């Protein structure tokens, strides 16, 4: 499984990449929306994992932009901000997980989305 992870905090990017790779998944980590859209445009991702506040932009904006490129790949918000699940679904996201969480919770949520 190939996951595009969008996170502007370097420590969080490193930790999440480690967790994903420990599961045998490929993690492509970027720190801004422009890089995320460039990678997403090349295709081949099974899930987008995005923070809500990225480089002065919002995850909702990025989610909408991702949906304009790809209507089917699941999007999971992974954010320290309290987010409204309904507004996230309106932008095209399938899930939300609040930071911080145990690595097992992140893996479980990703696995759940991939089974759908």
Q: In order of start, what are the domains of the chain with their CATH numbers? A: 2-115 (3.40.50.2300)
Among the residue ranges 49-53, 55-59, 93-97, the one predicted with the least confidence is 55-59
Question: Of 19-28, 64-73, 95-104, which has the strongest mean pLDDT?
Answer: 19-28
pLDDT for the residue numbered 45 = 96
Nearest to 96 by CA among 108, 111, 83: 83
pLDDT for the residue numbered 85 = 65
pLDDT for the residue numbered 86 = 65
Average pLDDT value for the chain: 88
Q: Is the pLDDT of residue 29 over 80?
A: yes
Provide the sign of the torsion angle of the four alpha carbons 61, 64, 70, 76, taken in this order.
positive
Q: How confident is the model at residue 84 (pLDDT cuts 50, 70, 90)?
A: low
Rounded Cα distance, 99 and 92, in Å: 20
Cα 8 to its chain centre, rounded Å, is 12
């Amino acid at each position: 499984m190939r996951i595009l992870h969008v996170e502007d905090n370097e420590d969080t990017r490193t930790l999440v990449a480690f967790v994903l790779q420990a599961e045998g998944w490929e993690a492509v980590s970027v720190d801004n929306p422009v890089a995320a859209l460039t990678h997403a445009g090349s295709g081949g991702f099974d899930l987008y994992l995005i923070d809500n506040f990225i480089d002065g932009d919002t995850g909702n904006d990025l989610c909408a932009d991702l949906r304009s490129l790809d209507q089917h790949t699941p999007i999971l918000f992974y954010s320290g901000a309290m987010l409204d699940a309904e507004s996230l679904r309106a932008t095209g996201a399938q899930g939300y997980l609040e930071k911080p969480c145990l690595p097992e919770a992140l893996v479980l949520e990703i696995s759940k989305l991939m089974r759908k």
